[in-house]
Amino acid sequence: MHKITSFLGLCLSMVMSGCSADSPNGNVKLPEVDDTGKVAVWVTNGSQTKLLQKENPLSIIKGNTAASSNLININFGTKYQEMEGFGAALTGSSAYLINKKMDATQRVALLKDLFDPEAGIGISYLRVTMGASDFSLEDFTYNDLPAGQTDPELSKFSITKDQDDLLPVLKSVVSAQPAIRIMATPWSAPAWMKDNGKLAGGSLKPEWYGAFANYFIKYLDAYKKEGINIDAISVQNEPLHEAAYPSMGMDAAAQNVFIKNHLGPVFKNNGVKAKILLYDHNWDRPDYPIAILSDAQTNPFVTGSAFHAYGGNVSAMSEVHHKFPDKGLYFTEISGGRWATNFSDNLKWNMSNIFIGTANNWSKNALLWNLALDENDGPKNKGCDNCRGVITIAANGAVTKNVEYYTIAHMAKFIRPGAFRVQSDKFTAASKLESSAFVNTDGSKVLVVLNQGADNQKFTVTDGATQFNYSIEPNAVATLVWN
């Protein structure tokens, strides 16, 4: 395995030029932009005749003479949240498929396509699971013991199971794209720390709050020794949902005590720089993060709140932002699946809610669930039996790019880490157009536009000094990039 990892890292370093592996965070690659005076256009439509297709560039006109009914003014001088990245979860199942079902040539090609912003789509943010989830090969944590035993000092803590697939794939990605951000989330504490003695369901016993806080420290240290820097952790995945797979209930009051009296102080005392994100559950309970952030003692330890989209409305993120504008918002999970298979509908829903929607509601990132699953929607671990991966990997290693691949691409390839969302007008409801605008660190400008309607829609973009026109086809998303 170590030989394979080294080979992959070497191959990827050769084929994915740019960042050096020994750079602490690397240099963020920025999108290619056409010559000055032109706007690059990339389109995906619902009929799939265009899949991230580059179209003829648009001309930029000096002045502001637009009289279009669909006019969007962009003020690049008014910056909102800084963007940290776009991507998906490298679950145990995803890592297994990439590491074990693909040969070295397939693997190198796939990782280049997923993570290189020039030759591929530039995924810039990954979420990993701390221990098993409902998409792992088996149940486990990093401190599993026979029933009745405890390990207060965590002397038996081990990330050995991650060495099989997850770490080799992560090392290959990081060697080629050192700037990638990685978020880690536990699905369950070790069973001996819980009131039911099981990984499925139950709650963390208060007497083990301190040990569980140190569990995070052990994890971060172990990963650092492997060359993997974890940028953020969330305290608990979906704390209001106990299931047959590894999971753990943790209401807002419990999470508040855990962060305030244990996790926060332990991070501070150990000089841990990883961000602490709370909640990590659906939009329908913004009261959960609001309650914790309202505690003046807990608040300083927390970087922000993470949300999923299996319930509620994206506007919940703005609700939290308006109460705590100094705290970050993060969107960390939604999955497609066999319950919704229409490409056009999925394209529009994801762009409207998850990518344009979360950005316009202050999210600093947008992550989907499994990066890769097989033709049978697995490997599964007692959870969702019909979820869809961003890509599908067949038994022979062949890759199918699903609609989620293209929705990520329209953001990740062009809106690079460090970019800021900027002020822009909303289109009229009648136009059925939605958009969000950004400026990258090199000054390149990005506008992502979705047409939910059944007709072509012409619109004009102006920044007060220059303007350009574009006509977007029905049921399509376009990303426009210019200097």
CA distance 460 to 470: 6
CA distances from 174 to 21, 78, 105, 127, 167 (A): 7, 33, 18, 13, 10
CA distance 149 to 153: 12
CA distance 33 to 25: 24
333 is catalytic: yes
Q: Which of 444, 448, 355, 400 is nearest to 86 (CA)?
A: 355
Residue that has been written with the tokens 């056409």 in this structure: 34
238 is catalytic: yes
CA distance 370 to 392: 10
Q: Which of 84, 333, 404, 434 is catalytic?
A: 333
Six-digit token string for 105: 């040539």
Plot region of 403 (φ>0 → left; ψ -120 to 50 → alpha; else → beta): alpha
Q: Which of 84, 238, 404, 434 is catalytic?
A: 238
Which residues are known to be catalytic? Answer: 238, 333
